[in-house]
């Protein structure tokens, strides 16, 4: 029974992992997801390609995929519980490994933008700028959930080092 005067809040139960290849991890992922009833499952570095179509599906979930771009590694995936109304959006550019999905809000609530991103450790500043521009745009428009591996520790050290050289 709800407590009077207390609003219940809608919540999304999310899990994220950098899989570093989903090749032999699908069954383990499914067991974890089913046990804890996640609404969203975000994965980076799936290392999937067209040969994985048969093994990637998960009962009760819609799968959105952004496979690596013609190279070994990379890739992003988002499983969304089937009860949510979602559409995949164009990503923020061919160079940025991101997958974006718009989830329609329920009961007159705003839509939510769901993002899964993988930033390789060696990504250059130009690609970072494309990503930052995209984030600035979407953060003005929608509520959003962003999950991913941004490999920023090395990038922050690189920025700090370049600043020290210019001083």
List the Cα angle 62/121/17 in 5-degree steps. 30
Give the span between the Cα atoms of 76 and 99, in whole angstroms: 6
Contact 74, 53 (CB under 8 A): no
How far is Cα 93 from Cα 103, in angstroms, rounded to an integer? 21
CB 115 within 8 A of CB 92: no
**pLDDT, tens digit (0-9, with 9 covering 90-100), for 97-135:** 888 999 988 766 788 999 999 888 888 888 888 888 888
On whether residue 6 sits in a domain, the answer given is: no
Can you give the pLDDT at residue 151?
85
| CATH code where residue 126 lies | 3.60.10.10
Q: Is 53 helix (H, G, I), strand (E, B) or coil?
A: coil
What pLDDT score was predicted for residue 124? 85
Number of domains in the chain: 1
pTM: 0.79
Residue 166 above 60 pLDDT?
A: no
Q: Which domain holds residue 55?
A: 14-166
9 part of a folded domain: no
């Amino acid at each position: 029974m709800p407590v009077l005067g207390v609003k219940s809040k809608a919540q999304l139960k999310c899990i994220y992992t950098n899989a570093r290849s989903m090749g032999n991890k699908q069954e383990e992922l499914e067991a974890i997801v089913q046990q804890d009833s996640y609404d969203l499952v975000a994965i980076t570095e799936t290392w999937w390609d067209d040969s994985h179509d048969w093994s990637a599906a998960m009962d009760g979930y819609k799968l959105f995929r952004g496979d690596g771009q013609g190279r070994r590694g990379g890739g992003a995936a988002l499983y969304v519980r089937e009860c949510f109304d979602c559409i995949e959006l164009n990503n923020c550019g061919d160079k940025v490994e991101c997958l974006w999905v718009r989830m329609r809000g329920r009961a007159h609530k705003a839509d939510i933008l769901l993002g899964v991103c993988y930033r390789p450790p060696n990504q250059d500043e130009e690609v970072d700028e494309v990503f930052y521009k995209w984030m600035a745009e979407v953060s003005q428009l929608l509520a959003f959930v962003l999950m991913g591996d941004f490999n920023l520790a090395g990038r922050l050290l690189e920025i700090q080092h370049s600043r020290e050289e210019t001083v």
